[in-house]
Chain A
């Protein structure tokens, strides 16, 4: 909390707070002037007492607020040093406030009243209460300042998290329906319509299913696992038409896991990664297996390919962003209980694995 505190929404929050403190102090000054004049019965007039009180009070509030900001910034001040600051500020304010007041009122400093015998007890009790009240007042103000700064910081953090989530969602959407993929698929469709209309029809259905699933997934927070697998089926089906005999794929979803709710679009980037960097650049192609299984109290999602492998093709920046997005999402959703790993497959290829606590 010490560094990088967010700027709060209102302009000049410190100035605003000081102004409020200052105003409250003036009310307080007025009360003290009344007390001194009519209860303690110092021989000076109410006006003289008010001027002295305002001078001392204004200086005190300036010293205390200024000192607090200088010493502790927006942090919560430690109790005893803070009380000392208040006492020192008050003593200094007494001294300098009286000098200023004597200048303003044109009365020599020595002629300011000293309290006469009969009221000494009242004065003692009064000043004790005054001190206690002043310390308590400024202590509370300092605490409020600290708490509101903390609240602002929390608000800013929440906003940042939300922004990150939005950004991830947008990036995912862009990544899924990238123009290159779409146009290549359309080119295949165009070719198929002429030579094999029935297959073209099936491919078009798969494209529609893929687009629909992608769009609805990127809007939902949780989807049934079966939904993610049908998206996988549509995507890999499309890729199968394009790559022909170079691609084979298997989907393995046990019926018991079908209705489990999972965050959307976790499998998709992994499958895309396997195709893009593992199988598409491999001359002889290969296969992809997408599997869900339950292990203890965790759900294990695996995308395994037999492609070029981890050091086969240099990972592009796009891929790294995609994978670090997955890692960040799992971290945000499940903390240390979620996990993502990328391991070499045998004899070749990559196994990408996601762990979700159930």
Chain B
């Protein structure tokens, strides 16, 4: 059996070092391929190193641990088994409840050898069982579904009109006319049947203000007006995409959201 490889993503240097030392103590044969300090580097390094085990701090700059996991689940290559993910978090009552409900692996900071030892045993057992390895991606997708907050914030206001600056005028776009929202670098592209406008916000901020019955997130960067979707099409490689009414382009659906388009 090949050496088991791990990657640690933790923004606080002392904590990263502590976790590294504890792992060396409890799991000497584990090869830690490095420590990254933020969510963006975590995704890039994980895709490059393709580790077997991934320790993800929840609160990191750039991207949270959950966002990094979600992005990895979307971009992970088909032919490589998905890493076993262990979330690392400081005390947070609500986060812990969520982790327990999602049956996700997590360790608490400060890390105790006893708790980490148990995690190590569990990881070893799951790495040994090949069938489980193959189901790892589905497992994490299922966990993320309940961990990543997508329910609209209670009491939040609903947007009815999008105000988009175009040149020196502000265009008013009724939300009902929007076919989909697409995240670009710092902006969100608002697409209707006959126009595209950029607004300076993030999908994360926009999402709670949309009617969740009507607007579905189908990819980390796409929210679609479900009334505008004509069909969900699966290609030969098994990838899912949406055909729209009134637009020529089709929108990819990520693994994380594919369950929304299973037949009834």
Q: Contact check, B18 vs A190: say whether CB atoms are below 8 A apart.
A: yes
| A195 within 8 Å of B (CB atoms) | yes
A187 to B205 CA separation, bound complex (whole angstroms)? 32
CA distance A183 to B89 in the complex (A): 10
- Proximity bits, A239-264, B CB within 8 Å = 1, else 0: 00111101000000000000000000
B110 at the interface (CB under 8 A from A): yes
Across the interface, name the chain B residue whose C-beta is closest to A284.
B61
CA–CA, A93 and B28, complex, Å: 103
Chain A hits for B111, CB < 8 A: 187
Name the prevailing secondary structure of the B interface residues.
Answer: loop
Q: Is the CB of B17 within 8 A of A195?
A: yes
Contact, CB under 8 Å: A183 / B90:
yes
Tell me, yes or no, whether B161 is within 8 Å of chain A by CB. Answer: no
What chain A residues lie within 8 Å of B37 (beta carbons)?
246, 283
Please judge, given known A-B contacts A179-B91, A241-B14, whether A190 and B61 are in contact too, CB under 8 Å: no
Point out the residues of chain B lying under 8 angstroms from A241, CB to CB.
14
Contacts of B92 in A (CB 8 A): 179-180
Given A184-B109, A186-B110, answer yes or no on A192-B62 (Cβ-Cβ < 8 Å). Answer: no
A192 and B14 contact, Cβ closer than 8 Å, known pairs A179-B91, A183-B109? yes
In B44-74, which residues have CB < 8 Å from any A CB?
59, 61-62
What band does the interface of chain A fall in when counting residues whose beta carbon is under 8 Å from B?
20 to 34
Q: Is the CB of B91 within 8 A of A282?
A: no
Residues of A within 8 A of B147 (CB): none
Complex Cα–Cα for A182 and B92 (A)? 11
Q: Does B232 belong to the interface (CB within 8 Å)?
A: no
Restricting to B74-120, which residues have a CB under 8 Å from any CB of A? Answer: 90-93, 109-111
> In this complex, which of B13, B14, B204 has the most chain A Cβ atoms within 10 angstroms of its Cβ?
B14
CB pair A314–B17 under 8 Å, yes or no, is no
Interface residues of A (CB under 8 A from B): 179-180, 182-184, 186-188, 190-192, 194-195, 241-244, 246, 280-283, 285, 311, 314
Contact sample, A vs B, 14 pairs, CB 8 Å cutoff: A182-B91, A184-B12, A187-B15, A187-B90, A187-B109, A191-B15, A191-B110, A192-B14, A194-B21, A242-B14, A243-B12, A280-B61, A281-B61, A314-B204
Known: A179-B92, A184-B109. 6 other contacts (CB 8 A): A180-B91, A187-B110, A190-B18, A281-B62, A282-B61, A311-B200
